[in-house]
Structure 1
Amino acid sequence: MTTEVDLLNTIHEYADMGLSGLNQVIPLSSDPSFTRELQHQKSDYEAALQKSEALLEERHIPRGKEAGPVAKMMSTVMTRAKNLADPSTSKLAEMVFQGSNMGITELTKGINDYHGEDKAVLSFAEKQLKQEEHHAETMKQYL
């Protein structure tokens, strides 16, 4: 069973990984419209990190779980390798889309496994899920 802290850590970790991935992809983008969308998503991840930190602190947890350094390194290596093979906006959008789908999966599992009573945490998780679904949907236009 997922606790409030587990659910908040899931949000924090996926937002940290999303932010890390976007920081790798944004400099590779040559399409202004696509770059604006990535910047918007980056702002959403930054806000999710701040909110999850605040909610964790309210529960006396000093720091949210971050994506592991190996996962971040692998993301960087894969992004660079895929960009060398195909530097198109479509390929970059595909990578972002795949990342969003991983976030959707993790958030959905966390929400479905959560049976707690903390409405603020559940509401925040559901909001993040809808936002990530929107991010994935937005990437489809660039595929």
Structure 2
Amino acid sequence: GDCDNEAVLNEVVRNTEMGKNTLGQLIGITDDRVFKASLLNQQREFRKLNQNAHTALAACGTHGHGQSKMAKMATSMGIHAKTMKDSSTRALADMVIQGANQGVLDCEKARKDHPHASTGAMQLLDELQQFEEHAAVEMREYL
């Protein structure tokens, strides 16, 4: 019931927050205009899903727990380290694909762990998962 909803929605919040932050960092690094446009589109979608999850949590009378400051820093430093070594479009696309694939797995786990979540929460999770699956495919063009 309720805690399942909250858990699923929080997964969407965490997942989309990480996505939009990561993309924000990569958008600042790449010089490839076409690739950058792709990343901006994905970032917009992450923002939208993130807002939808926050809205749904507010409707449940609670609020989302995004990534902790430490987790954000670790992610950001990890990306910085990787892109220092190789900031080619191919390397960045590879990172986006890995992130998207991880996101898909996280959605699968959330679905299995919280079978009693509401249709609305599950729909948002499905939307996120489909978006990440699609993003991974789209990014393969840049490999």
TM-score, with length taken from structure 2? 0.93
TM superposition shift of 1:124 = 1.4
Contact 2:8 2:117 in 1 (8 A): no
Distance 1:5 1:117, change over 3 A: closer
Q: Matched residues in 1 for 2:82 and 2:101: separation?
A: 18
Q: What residue identity is the alignment partner of 2:71? A: A
Structure-1 residue corresponding to 2:50 = 49
Structure-2 residue corresponding to 1:17 = 18
TM superposition shift of 1:132 = 0.9
Unaligned runs of 5+ in 1: none
Structure-1 residue corresponding to 2:72 = 72
Q: Tell whether 2:30 aligns with 1:32.
A: no
Distance 1:33 1:116, change over 3 A: same
Give the stretch that moved more between structures: 127-136 or 66-75: 66-75
TM superposition shift of 1:113 = 2.4
Q: Matched residues in 1 for 2:102 and 2:65: separation?
A: 17
What is the SS of the residue equivalent to 1:16? Answer: helix
Structure-1 residue corresponding to 2:96 = 96
TM superposition shift of 1:117 = 5.5
Q: What residue identity is the alignment partner of 2:75? A: S
Structure 1: 4+ residue segments shifted above 6 A: none
Contact 1:111 1:126 in 2 (8 A): no
**Aligned-pair identity (%):** 27
Q: Matched residues in 2 for 1:103 and 1:92: separation?
A: 16
What is the SS of the residue equivalent to 2:77? Answer: helix
Query: Cα RMSD (Å) of the superposition?
Result: 1.5
What is the SS of the residue equivalent to 1:30? Answer: coil
Q: What residue identity is the alignment partner of 1:49? A: N
